[in-house]
Amino acid sequence: MNILFTCAGRRTYLLKYFKENLAEGDKVIATDMQLSAPALTVADMKIQVPAVYDPCYVDKTLEICQQYTIDALISLNDLELPILAEQKHRFDEIGTTVIVSDKDVIDISFDKYKTAQWVEQVGLNAPKTYIRLDDAKEALLKSEIQFPLFLKPRWGSGSIGLETVEDMEELEIVYALLFKKIKKTFLAKASVGDEYILIQEKLTGKEFGLDVMNDLRGNHVAVSVKQKLAMRSGETDKAVTVDNPSIYSIGKTIGENLGHIGNLDVDVMQRADGTYCVLELNPRFGGGYPFSHEAGVNMPKAIIKWLKGETVDKVLLTPQYGKMFAKNDYLVEVG
């Protein structure tokens, strides 16, 4: 079995997790637009490719899948997901399983405004969210929301463009600045129309990360819940696995209704009144997955078994509770 990781970036740990579960002779192949990407050092073979928005990107990736008989493709980049979801049929034709959810799932997850609407539709809570500055101002005048407020790109990735505002003057200034700023970044290619900034109520309670796991047909299988203890550059830096039935139920509801494929990284935060709000849905392995894996979850092994047509015992995807881990930096030679 050969597995291709695209946009490999910094996720060395994920490639290692898969390699640990592959049989002798199986290969992990990784691509990135830069050969100095750290995760490429873990792969059995590394290949440089164009940027995801390059017109040749999909054709080049298909060529790699054919040349190296790739059984499964796993993307590690938000911006690539809509592209691959649109082109999955082309990979199916050459025998490569693209472990990316269908277009409607990617659309709901990638468009953060649609995420908030969908979350409410399935009976869960989302932060109060606005995509028009005038609507947010009106809500403030009616006391439907209060400062501080949180601004972020509607179509975003990582921690790019996240801002907190404390009063009306800041709201107007930061909104206008962020509007211009996004146009100058790669997020401009992912954004649609002029309503590409979200204005949300800012939550300050406990924050949780969920790995909501479905099989390769979109059937819900398991949830792993972690309380975030520290963040760094938009990713979980320190966390502990917890047994929280209320949040587990949120993950189960999402998994059963969304029907995503593989792992879904979910952010949940607690309001001051104790209720939980779903902040984001990221249909891929997120930066919080290692905290589940080190606590006993083995999603890579489950994916490999599903690819082989084998059944997966739920025990394989159940974490031990109370396991606390923290990330640390180390150097790898990349050239």
What pLDDT, on a 0 to 100 scale, did the predictor assign at position 193?
A: 62
Which carries the bigger pLDDT value, residue 234 or residue 119?
119
Question: 151 and 175 in contact (C-beta within 8 Å)?
Answer: yes
The answer to whether the bond into 148 is cis (omega within 30° of 0) is yes
Provide the pLDDT for residue 329.
Answer: 83
**CATH class of domain segment(s) 128-201:** alpha beta
pTM comes to 0.94
Kindly give, in sequence order, each residue whose CB lies less than 8 Å from that of residue 127, ignoring residues fewer than 6 positions away.
Answer: 116, 150, 200, 201, 202, 203, 269, 277, 279
pLDDT digits (tens, 9 = 90+) for 60-77: 999 999 999 999 999 999
Rounded to 5°, the CA angle 188-6-52 comes to 25
- What whole-number distance in Å separates Cα of residue 110 and Cα of residue 156? 8
Token representation of residue 176: 């206008």
Other CB atoms within 10 Å distance of the CB of residue 33: 14
The domain segmentation of the chain, as residue ranges, is: 2-100, 128-201, 207-326
In which element (H, E) is residue 153 found? strand 149-153
Across the range 226-247, mean pLDDT stands at 93
Q: What is the pLDDT of residues 170-196, one digit of tens each?
A: 999 999 998 888 877 666 566 666 788
User: Domain 207-326 class?
Assistant: alpha beta
CA distances to 27, 67, 94, 102, 155 from 22, rounded to whole Å, are: 8, 20, 22, 26, 35
- Decide if 2-100 and 128-201 have a common fold: no
pLDDT at 235: 84
Q: Does domain 2-100 have CATH number 3.40.50.970?
A: no
